Amino acid sequence: KKSLSGRSALSLLEFSSEEIFHLLDEAVKLKENPYSQALKGKTLAMIFEKSSTRTRISFEVGMLQLGGHAIDLNAKELQLGRGETIADTAKVLSAYVDAVMIRTTKHERVKELAEHATIPVINGLCDVFHPCQALADLLTILELKGTFENIKVAYVGDGNNVAHSLMIGSAKVGLNVSIASPLGFEPNQNLVEQAKKIGKETGAEIVVMNDPLEAVKDADIVYTDVWTSMGQEDEEEKRKEIFHPYQVNQRLMEKAKPTAHFLHCLPAHRGEEVTADVMDGEQSAVFQQAENRLHAQKALLKEILK
């Protein structure tokens, strides 16, 4: 059995189902017992090329609660922002710190960092993936439903980084996913095929469609994300029009199971992808989900820095 020690987390594709279940188990334990010295003397560097509230704070607090330390690096203030290469940055960071987390524009940048670093690299969101979010999402669904078996998640909206990681993570743990996106905004076809293939082994049914009503039918979880991701601000007006029929509102929630919960990775825009009544209503578990970023990432850090 391969150990998680020294491993990078670029997407969830590189983790086996067993490893993901192990990380979720560890996260549950860390939620019960948050403080230890498991990462005493260890340092995480965090490179941010985009804004963040949850990722930045949960990683920093997570390291601290495990007896380690995190350094928050704004890419603009690094020499990286003045043209030093990712490869050189990777080599230098490898000499100083024990792991590096990066939030960046392109998945290629995350891969390049990992190729040249001799320490684990964690993807803290890029254009294609958001694996740490998906780990927290799975933890939340497990808490809410007690199992992944015969559970259906409906993701309604942009087939983006969050959708991709949710789809891959769900496929790995045997959780059914229906994704409804507007025409032309579906998740990446190649990733959908990979998820379907994984699902064949785990029993997860992965379906992509354009009709939000069909996707949420009898769903246990209804999930959405922003219509305009970071870096797509130019398309905001166009996207508002296209995505309008994909708003998660009470009418849509009523098509899901009466026991359904609403999830959103946050930040949310009330009145756009979700109405305020759903976001702040009884079915919403978004703040439990946000808290779980901390526990899930601590599990990941603890295992890869063992």
Pick out the residues of the known binding site for carbamoyl phosphate: 52-55, 79, 103, 130-133, 265-266, 293
Whether 247 is a known active-site residue: answer no
Distances in Å between the Cα of 202 and the Cα atoms of 16, 176, 177, 197, 206 are 11, 10, 13, 9, 11
For the bound state, the minimum distance from the C-beta of residue 111 to ligand NVA, rounded and expressed in Å, comes to 18
For the bound state, the minimum distance from the C-beta of residue 87 to ligand NVA, rounded and expressed in Å, comes to 25
Q: Which stretch binds ligand NVA (CB under 6 A): 91-99, 134-142, 216-224, 226-234?
A: 226-234
Q: Considering the rule CB under 6 A, would residue 204 count as an interface residue with ligand NVA?
A: no
State the residues that interact with ligand CP by CB under 6 A: 52-55, 125, 133, 265-266
Whether 250 is a known active-site residue: answer no
Q: Which stretch binds ligand NVA (CB under 6 A): 154-162, 194-202, 276-284, 288-296?
A: 154-162
Is the CB of residue 156 less than 8 Å from the CB of residue 224? yes
Is the CB of residue 228 less than 8 Å from the CB of residue 235? yes
User: Is 218 in a helix, a strand, or coil?
Assistant: coil
Nearer to ligand NVA, 98 or 223 (CB): 223
Nearer to ligand CP, 137 or 174 (CB): 137
Whether 158 is a known active-site residue: answer no
Q: Which stretch binds ligand NVA (CB under 6 A): 72-80, 157-165, 187-195, 276-284?
A: 157-165
Taking CB within 5 to 8 Å according to partner kind, which of ligand NVA, ligand CP, none is near residue 53? Answer: ligand CP
130, 164, 239, 261: the active-site residue: 130
Whether 264 is a known active-site residue: answer no
Q: Which residue is nearest to ligand CP (CB)?
A: 55
Burial grade of 50 (CB within 10 A; 0-12, 13-18, 19 or more): middle
Candidates 215, 226, 285, 300: give the one binding ligand NVA (CB under 6 A).
226
Whether 56 is a known active-site residue: answer no
Whether 225 is a known active-site residue: answer yes
Residues annotated within a binding site: 52-55, 79, 103, 130-133, 161, 225, 229-230, 265-266, 293
- The closest of 77, 36, 34 to 58, measured between CA atoms, is 34
Candidates 89, 160, 165, 297: give the one binding ligand NVA (CB under 6 A).
160
Structure tokens at 302: 């603890």
Determine the Cα–Cα distance for residues 233 and 237; give it in Å rounded to an integer: 9
Candidates 19, 26, 98, 225: give the one binding ligand NVA (CB under 6 A).
225
Is the CB of residue 164 less than 8 Å from the CB of residue 128? yes
- DSSP conformational letter for 285: -
Distances in Å between the Cα of 194 and the Cα atoms of 16, 162, 165 are 13, 16, 12
Nearer to ligand NVA, 163 or 256 (CB): 163
- DSSP conformational letter for 225: -
Show the DSSP H helices in 154-235 as ranges. Answer: 161-173, 189-202, 212-216
Determine the Cα–Cα distance for residues 275 and 239; give it in Å rounded to an integer: 17
Using alpha carbons only, what angle is made at residue 124 by residues 68 and 164, rounded to the nearest 5 degrees?
140
Residues classed as catalytic:
103, 130, 133, 225, 265, 293
